[in-house]
Amino acid sequence: MIPVLGYEGRRVAVLGMGRSGLATALSLRAGGAIPVVWDDSTEGRAKAEELGYEVCDFTKAGGFDGIAALIVSPGIPHLYPDPNKVIAAAWAAGVPVDNDIGLFFRSLGSGDWVDFDTPPRVIAVTGSNGKSTTSALIHHILSENGTPCQLAGNIGRGVLDIEPPVDGEVIVLELSSYQTDLARALTPDVAVFTNLSPDHLDRHGGMGGYFAAKRRLFIEGGPDRCVIGVDEKEGRYLANQLVEGPEDSRLIRISVAEKLAGSGWNVFARKGFLSEYRKGKQVASLDLRDIAGLPGAHNHQNACAAFAATRALGLSPKTIEAAFHSFGGLPHRSQLVGEKDGVKFVNDSKATNVDSAQKALEAFSRIRWIAGGMGKDGGIAALAPALGSVVKAYLIGFSARDFALQLGDVPYEICETMEAAVALAAREAEAGEVVLLAPAAASFDQYPNFEKRGEHFAALVEALL
């Protein structure tokens, strides 16, 4: 673990006793602090007491007396739609509020680093879509290259749960807007912005607040190098704010929408080929078309981001290309579950919003589409331009009938359950088609999370195969 520094002998409040909160309390204790905890659920409080932590209701009079800081788990609202009552009480008491990401960056360095030939570095990845695949791909490239590395944050282990880094190690962090929004310290060596599309708007008070949460990693973090997706106006705005001039090599722009020109450092993918340009000249080209773990334009964007981030660390294009070919992809993200009689079954359960579902639909040509769940504002109306590849839709969950009204001329079946949808789609699919789970909706009507939804789809497919 990473012991939290700076609070030795002081009482530090921890709100939320899930994975993040428990790791935070343990790291605080390891660093000499005295964690005092609270969870809004009786189960969470009971778990904390079993582990020997002091439990305190900080909303009561004097609850924050003698407390040095409040550390908040990422799932707990701290501003919109309304701040948690414990956070509001901390504000009133003048107690600083932070999260585990802030503690991580504050505590990562240690005296041992003076003896390292190469100090450990951090690559932090944020954005609306693709950040998990991009983070995992960066980690895979480094691992294949023999670079010691760890993957943490919004994927895999909690940031304080990782091992103290060794000489030359690279820590790859996936950071959500919930994590970047509140952290009081953000100091990555390389920061990556994949893209931006509407998501979590209630939590951030609208699109402006959502973008502002992402932007903090770059403006307040002061990374040595930034990799910025410029296919949306927010990315172009952010890129412009980070440079001192057209040839500023601290910025690497990436795109899958256009060939990037200019005298800066650019990486883009068009028609399945990734190109790197520096000072107006091409310095590398990679063929992405036959890389099984990175299908579709959205994964080509992830490839551009990972390529740029690892190039920023000095890896060669050939080394990166070789690692691309051995990357197996992530579960629930354009994951090929299997194939039978020329029909492929692909699990993209992580496509919980319209933008990510559109990218999944654009990756294949003839699709038997399984969609539905707890739909978000606007349903799937915005997906109309991407439905030309859909042979038939198989609709499940709470929003199945609402989705049906927005499909236009696309044939559909109301299946209600995953079992019925998989069985019917598999029976009707023909050679050359793809049975694709890309729900364009949250999972909470039928599943506790998108992982369980994807696992159910995969289990049903494997039974068929």
| Residues tagged in the binding site annotation | 127-133
> In whole angstroms, what is the distance from residue 254 CA to residue 338 CA?
32
> How far is the CA of 266 from the CAs of 96, 130, 364, in angstroms?
40, 19, 27
Helices (H), 58-206: 85-93, 100-107, 131-144, 177-182, 201-204
96: Cα within 13 Å, side-chain hemisphere: 12
CA triple 235-239-241, angle to 5 deg: 120
> In whole angstroms, what is the distance from residue 281 CA to residue 207 CA?
36
Q: Is the C-alpha dihedral spanning 135, 138, 143, 149 positive or negative? A: negative
Contact predicate 104/159, CB 8 Å: yes
> How far is the CA of 465 from the CAs of 267, 335, 344, 345, 392, in angstroms?
40, 16, 11, 10, 21
In the three-class reduction of DSSP (H, G, I as helix; E, B as strand; rest coil), residue 90 is classed as helix
> How far is the CA of 133 from the CAs of 147, 167, 297, 301, 449, in angstroms?
19, 26, 13, 10, 18
> How far is the CA of 310 from the CAs of 129, 284, 358, in angstroms?
19, 14, 28
> In whole angstroms, what is the distance from residue 447 CA to residue 461 CA?
18
Binding residues for ATP: 127-133
> In whole angstroms, what is the distance from residue 53 CA to residue 236 CA?
47
Residues 6+ apart with CB under 8 A from 64: 13, 58, 70, 89, 90, 93, 95
> In whole angstroms, what is the distance from residue 432 CA to residue 166 CA?
48
Token pair 């602090």: residue: 33
C-alpha 115, offset from chain centre: 33
Q: Which of 134, 231, 143, 258 is nearest to 191 (CA)?
A: 134
Orientation of helix 207-219 relative to helix 233-242, angle to 10° = 30
> In whole angstroms, what is the distance from residue 408 CA to residue 398 CA?
19
